[in-house]
Amino acid sequence: MILALMLALSAAADPAPREVRVYGDWAVGCDNRRKCHATSLPDETASDEPVGDGNLDVSIKRDGARISELKVQLAFTTKIPGVDFDSVRWIAIDDSRLDLRLSGKDGVYDLNPADSAKLVAAMRGKSKLALLDRRRNEVGAASLRGLPQALGYMDHQQFLDGTIAALARPGLKAVNHFTVPPMLPAPVVRVAPQPQRPPRTLDAQELARLQESDPCPRSASEEPRAPPSYFRLDERSSLVMIASRCGGYNPTTVLFILRENGSVRLPRFWHPDGGEKLYDADLPDLWWDSKARKLNSFGRGRVLADCGEIQEYAWDGDRFELTHSASMPVCRGSRDYITTYRAEIRLMDGP
């Protein structure tokens, strides 16, 4: 038992972003804090009557705490002609209506923990979930093919296999410290308080010199480039973001750190998967969120943005550290990205 606990703790200690898996018409993943998220995907079978119409997303989430409640959300992916979202009232599983009434806003319906548990239990081994209007007409559907495997993956990652809290195959084992190892401390990124001074900027000659580091060649018909953006990171450092000539749906930005002493350098990035490295323009579609004080990246797998990877970085005074990562590995119409890593952000003068 001691060896089993040591192995469990070792698995729980992995700080790197986790993978997102696909089972049938479901994608599922868990982050480094054991929070798991499964989401439905539009059906891709060649049947003349496919299961799931692509208009409805079903999302199942459960935190990594030893005792944690389920959260199920049902959401229409688009406005459907002739469908009044306020008229949606019921859930049906394989054409059998459940004793659960829905209420929501703008086509999004959040179930309470008790109803979430009832719905997940009703979906086991079934093929389709549908929403019905007040006249009991079907207005949206999602496939349940692959859901048992997705739920089983959540159970395994949360050390709940064979327990009374298991989602795929509930058992008789109690949920306690013998079955679920303690959660290790969350990764912490410490940031400086919000600086009050304006960012340092570049003169025309300095900017022209840095623009020459653009990885994409100059074009004869090149449009005038957008002006650079400047942001104050802390009392010593500012960030300049220079638009690249590289375009497409994953535009590239050239980044530099400007110090108050006049020095200019490439920023360093820290990622738990690969450690520290210099920025080399491999993070697509970057933008700075001034309110959250985070550098955001969104690498789209295709122009529809229904697949790809989202990353967020915070400045710790010396480098950008990953604080959040989310992924959708398959391009199948779902924009319900699954979180694979998260870190806490604290002020440097905090505890």
Give 194-233 pLDDT, tens digit per residue. 999 999 999 999 999 998 888 776 665 556 678 999 999 9
pLDDT at position 156 is 96
pLDDT at position 11 is 47
Neighbours of 345 (CB within 10 A): 19
- Over its length of 351 residues, how does the chain's per-residue pLDDT go in tens digits? 444 544 444 444 456 788 999 999 999 999 999 999 999 998 766 444 444 456 899 999 999 988 899 999 999 987 777 778 888 999 999 989 999 888 888 899 999 999 999 999 999 999 999 999 988 999 999 999 999 999 999 999 999 999 999 999 999 999 998 999 998 899 999 999 999 999 999 999 999 999 888 877 666 555 667 899 999 999 999 999 998 877 678 888 999 999 999 999 999 999 888 788 888 767 899 999 999 999 999 999 988 889 999 999 999 999 999 999 999 999 998 999 999 999 999 998 744
Neighbours of 185 (CB within 10 A): 6
Are 333 and 77 within 8 A, CB to CB? yes
Three-state SS sequence of 118-165: HHHHHHCCCCEEEEEECCCCEEEEEECCCHHHHHHHHHHHCCCCCECC
pLDDT at position 116 is 97
CA 182 to centroid of chain Cα atoms:
24
pLDDT at position 5 is 47
Q: Which of 314, 319, 325 is nearest to 194 (CA)?
A: 314
pLDDT at position 41 is 94
Between CA 144 and CA 137 the distance in angstroms is 20
pLDDT at position 54 is 67
DSSP per residue over 166-177, as a string? -SSS--SB--ST
Q: Which residues pair with 288 in a beta bridge?
A: 295
Q: Which of 68, 3, 75 is nearest to 30 (CA)?
A: 68
pLDDT at position 282 is 75
Task: Write the single-letter amino acid at 329.
Answer: P
251-257 LR contacts (CB < 8 Å, sep 24+): 251/284, 251/285, 252/215, 252/216, 252/281, 252/284, 253/281, 253/285, 253/286, 254/210, 254/211, 254/213, 254/214, 254/215, 254/281, 255/279, 255/286, 256/210, 257/233
